Amino acid sequence: MFLARRPLQNIFSDKSSLVLRAMLQSPGHTWKIPELSKIGISFGMASIVLNLAESLGYVERVRIGPGSFSKLIHAENLLRDWNRNYAFDRNPHTYYHSVDDDFLNKLKDYCEAKKIGYALTLYSASRLISPYVKDDRNFVYLDIDIKQAKTVFQDLENSLGLLKLVKGGNTCLAVPYYRKSVFCELQILGQFPAVSNLQLYLDLMGLPPAGREEALHLLDYWKKRGIPFAKP
């Protein structure tokens, strides 16, 4: 019995975003489906994402048999719509208060000892590139499954002296909504791994009250230096 493939519901979902990230990283490139399949998705999934991206006007698809290709044509519209469909709050996260001025180095040592991947984002990353908004809070993604979060967070509280407050805090630990893609294209800032420029931009744009200002400042900073937007 043949089962019809279910239509893609959200082009900005975790797995679909792998295609969008690849295209934003190399906006002038003409992509063939076998190339996109190398980033961790099937031929069928790549084709579905490209078809939807074409229908939304982000991508041009040229169908000429084996030579068929796709090309990003409206990156600005794609980013605008992505910002409308994603905000940092989608990531399961918890705020803490840390009195340790050396918190990030202590976290680095903890994660290396426990073999937990991590990446800076938001102001923790942007202030190591070109700070604009003054915000000294720490924001860190941990590469753990959501089912592990309670245990890992409790261990971090005990190991690093983190205080869980009823409201507010200067340290945010998050489990990524983009489980498959947030750790793609990591860059090193200072001595710490940080998310890609694209992920940093997306996280900042959806963070009130001043994240948008920081994101637009960084966008201008990258453009002036000729840095590809989504690639560190």
97 shares a domain with 165:
yes
Same domain assignment for residues 97 and 136: yes
228 pLDDT exceeds 80?
Answer: no
In which band, very low, low, confident or very high, does the pLDDT at 104 lie, cut at 50, 70 and 90?
very high
pLDDT of residue 8: 54
Residues 103 and 160 reside in one and the same domain: yes
Last residue of a domain, one of 64, 85, 106: 85
128 and 23 in one domain?
no
Q: What is the pLDDT of residue 5?
A: 44
Position 39 scores a pLDDT of 84
pLDDT number for residue 229? 67
Residue 211: CB partners within 8 Å, gap ≥ 6? 88, 122, 133, 203, 204, 205
| Same domain as 134, residue 35 | no
> Within this chain, do residues 172 and 196 fall inside the same structural domain, yes or no?
yes
Q: Are 162 and 97 in contact (CB under 8 A)?
A: yes
Is residue 5, in this structure, part of any structural domain at all?
Answer: no
Q: Which of 57, 85, 113 is the last residue of a domain?
A: 85
Same structural domain for residues 99 and 59? no
Under 8 Å CB-to-CB from 82, ≥6 apart: which residues?
Answer: 12, 20, 202
- Report yes or no on 114 lying in a domain: yes
Domain that holds residue 163: 88-224
**Omega into 209 within 30° of 0, i.e. cis?**
yes
Inside any domain, residue 205: yes
Each residue of 154-178: pLDDT tens digit?
Answer: 999 999 999 988 778 999 999 999 9
Domain membership of residue 40 (yes or no) is: yes
Residues 148 and 131 in one domain: yes
Same domain? 101 vs 199: yes
Q: pLDDT tens digit string along 39-84?
A: 888 889 999 999 999 999 999 999 988 889 999 999 999 999 999 9
Average pLDDT over residues 14-43: 89
Give yes or no: residues 107 and 94 share one domain.
Answer: yes
Verify that 92 and 199 share a domain, yes or no. Answer: yes
Q: Which residues on neighbouring strands pair with residue 3, listed in sequence order?
A: none
User: What is the rounded average pLDDT of the residues 5-16?
Assistant: 76
CATH of the domain at 44: 1.10.10.10
- Asked which of 61, 85, 109 is the last residue of a domain, the reply is 85
Interhelix angle for 149-160 vs 103-114, to 10°?
130
Neighbours of 183 (CB within 10 A): 18
The structure tokens 């084709």 sit at 47
What's residue 37's pLDDT? Answer: 81
